Amino acid sequence: MLKKTALALLVAALMLFAVGCSSEPAVTPEPEPTPGEATGLDGEAILNAKCGSCHSIDQVLAQQYDAVGWAAVIDDMITRGADLTDDEAAALAEYLSLR
C-alpha cells in the first residue's frame, strides 16, 4: 500500500515536471554586449579626440572606474566644456571601464 502511494506520488510529480517543462516557452538569453557594440563607436578615438584639450590623455588613463563611474566623470567633463554626444559618452565610458 505504502509502495503504491509512493509510486503514485512519483508518477504525479513526474507528470507535473513534464507539464511544467513543456509549457515553458524556450527562453533565449540576450547576449552580453561586447565593447563598442551598443553604439558602434570607437571609444579610443573619442578619448583621443575629445579628452586631451584641457589635460593629458595619460591623466585620464591613470584613473580606474567602472562604467558607471566613468559615465559620471564624463558627465562632469561635459559640464566643464567637453563636447560629446550621449552615444559618444556611452561608448567612451564602456571603453574606459573595459580597457
Considering the complex, state which of residue 67 and residue 73 has its C-beta at the smaller distance from ligand HEC: 73
- CA 90/CA 85 separation, integer angstroms: 9
Task: Kindly state the smallest distance separating residue 35's Cβ from ligand HEC, in Å.
Answer: 16
Task: Kindly state the smallest distance separating residue 67's Cβ from ligand HEC, in Å.
Answer: 13
Please give the residue ranges that form the binding site for ligand HEC (CB under 6 A). 50-51, 53-55, 60, 63, 73-74, 77, 80-82, 84, 92
Task: Kindly state the smallest distance separating residue 37's Cβ from ligand HEC, in Å.
Answer: 20
Task: Kindly state the smallest distance separating residue 81's Cβ from ligand HEC, in Å.
Answer: 3
Angle in degrees, CA 44, 50, 55, rounded to 5: 105
Considering the complex, state which of residue 5 and residue 79 has its C-beta at the smaller distance from ligand HEC: 79
CA distances from 20 to 2, 23, 27, 60 (A): 27, 6, 14, 53
- Residue recorded with cell 507528470: 15
* DSSP states along 84-99: --HHHHHHHHHHHHH-
Considering the complex, state which of residue 37 and residue 76 has its C-beta at the smaller distance from ligand HEC: 76
